[in-house]
Structure 1
């Protein structure tokens, strides 16, 4: 028995060595041979994530499938732009109207740059698209400036909309998310994603892979800030990333798992890739260990 165990171990090493050699001989094989998602669990059977706060909910039923620190009020960075988009669309202004970037749209709070120079002229539809898809801050600022009553009225409308949605812990101070006074809890952001998912343009723009916009005599290519929209094993219907130092890296999504619409909210991830890794951990958990929670979620009657 001992000799058979040694032979089995040697055979396993040989197979592993052969697989390693093949994977490294062909770059395409390296992509296919990605490491499996590793998920650890707490004593309640919930996945252990790197995000400081999170919620995963069944959107159809409203049931919370897993959460941590979901009532903690935290800066939300560019997740703000989802509310920006809803306020713009609620106003019913012409999407074909041309808006101009001015010096008022320059970020003087954080000093971030932008690919849109002062004087750039884009339609409201283009500004909305790149604000949602690529988190373009000057576009989000311009959208607020061109609101009836200007930026002050726009921010007031954002906060009124939050109250209407029952987002009681949420406060907005600007339309971009650069201001750390834009705060919410993870529970409130589930409500935000739920509401935003009823806007076809928000779903379309926030999950598009890329868009070209003409600026001056050239074109700029904007890509989606959430790489998961490009992965074939994900079905993402709404997405928004966010980052400022005070908020860490954030991500909200509406996606599909085991045939059910699922909302994921991930706040204050420290590492650059932690929010994406956490989303993958949640998906893997829901497809395997946590599958019973999705399947067992009862349908509610008489309301959403």
Structure 2
């Protein structure tokens, strides 16, 4: 998470030391009561990684499009050119859920634009194309996704496709908190996942396509969101991961297996209300 660094000189050293000592104490420590969340699994961590709230944090569940956050990290870790053009082909079709896409065969965008669409608007063909065009192909890409998970200590996680369409993409709330923390170190991921609207031009001689972010809380003035990703397939329910600043403190939020389109957003608001009421 973003941690401010202050240069201390002279008498200011004492003040900085005092601030540092206090920095490890969160106002959200040992909160009473329960936020009454509807999500089956949930975890909230403070800036130091301490658990503010947990519910069924180690149960392995399908994670749907939360997968795309790992896809983005693997792409960025590779150092492959983000300005390289990628063209959508029939190989990028969703033959699992049969979801549609406005990126028709022949649609061409830069790798950076594909990554942005995959994160902000959960574009499945964009995510699949990122994996398909990875050096060594899709199998190598999936191997790197799982290797990255192991490196992050996500011992109960497995990745089976770049878009999260397969129910074999699984993790736990506690594992995903590690992924969210790691993803915060990638400026392009934080930028993409918090962009509310984006225009792209994938077809020569045609106008723009406008995409919106799948996280409606980004438009809520009560929220200061630094990183986010939504997900949904039948097996996973509604999922949401976020990093947000609440009353000056950075917190990580993971919500898995909510039923009802708006439930993750409702749970997020219930969490925030509970935290502020008891801090």
- TM-score bucket of the superposed structures, by smaller chain: 0.7 to 0.9
Question: Given the alignment, which residue of 93, 96, 99 partners 1:106?
Answer: 93
What does 1:78-97 correspond to in 2, within 5 Å? 78-97=65-84
Question: Given the alignment, which residue of 208, 219, 222 partners 1:233?
Answer: 222
Q: Deviations over 1:233-252 (max 9, x none)?
A: 11000000000000000000
Question: Given the alignment, which residue of 185, 190, 208 partners 1:219?
Answer: 208
> 1:242 aligns to what SS in structure 2?
strand
1:215 Cα deviation after fit = 2.3
1:151 Cα deviation after fit = 0.5
> 2:164 aligns to what SS in structure 1?
coil
Q: In structure 1, what is the Cα distance between the partners aligned to 2:54 and 2:180?
A: 16
Tell me the equivalent position of 1:35. none
Q: In structure 2, what is the Cα distance between the partners aligned to 1:234 and 1:47?
A: 17
The runs of at least 4 aligned residues of structure 1 exceeding 3 Å deviation read none
Give the unaligned 5+ runs of structure 1. Answer: 1-43, 292-304
Tell me the equivalent position of 1:11. none
Q: In structure 2, what is the Cα distance between the partners aligned to 1:231 and 1:115?
A: 27
1:191 pairs with 2:183: no
Q: In structure 1, what is the Cα distance between the partners aligned to 2:79 and 2:231?
A: 26
Tell me the equivalent position of 2:258. 269
What does 1:41-52 correspond to in 2, within 5 Å? 45-52=33-40
Q: In structure 1, what is the Cα distance between the partners aligned to 2:45 and 2:86?
A: 37
Q: Deviations over 1:158-212 (max 9, x none)?
A: 0000000000000000000000000000000000000000100000000001100
Tell me the equivalent position of 1:151. 138
1:72 Cα deviation after fit = 0.2
Tell me the equivalent position of 2:116. 129
> 1:215 aligns to what SS in structure 2?
coil
1:258 Cα deviation after fit = 1.8
> 1:110 aligns to what SS in structure 2?
coil
Q: In structure 2, what is the Cα distance between the partners aligned to 1:133 and 1:50?
A: 24
Q: In structure 2, what is the Cα distance between the partners aligned to 1:61 and 1:260?
A: 10
| Corresponding residue pairs, total | 246
Q: Deviations over 1:55-94 (max 9, x none)?
A: 0110x21100011111000000000000000000001011
Q: In structure 2, what is the Cα distance between the partners aligned to 1:123 and 1:274?
A: 34
Q: Deviations over 1:88-127 (max 9, x none)?
A: 0001011110000000000001111111001100000100
Q: In structure 1, what is the Cα distance between the partners aligned to 2:224 and 2:65?
A: 22
Q: In structure 1, what is the Cα distance between the partners aligned to 2:212 and 2:78?
A: 27
Q: Deviations over 1:132-171 (max 9, x none)?
A: 0000000000000111101100000000000000000000
Give the unaligned 5+ runs of structure 2. Answer: 1-31
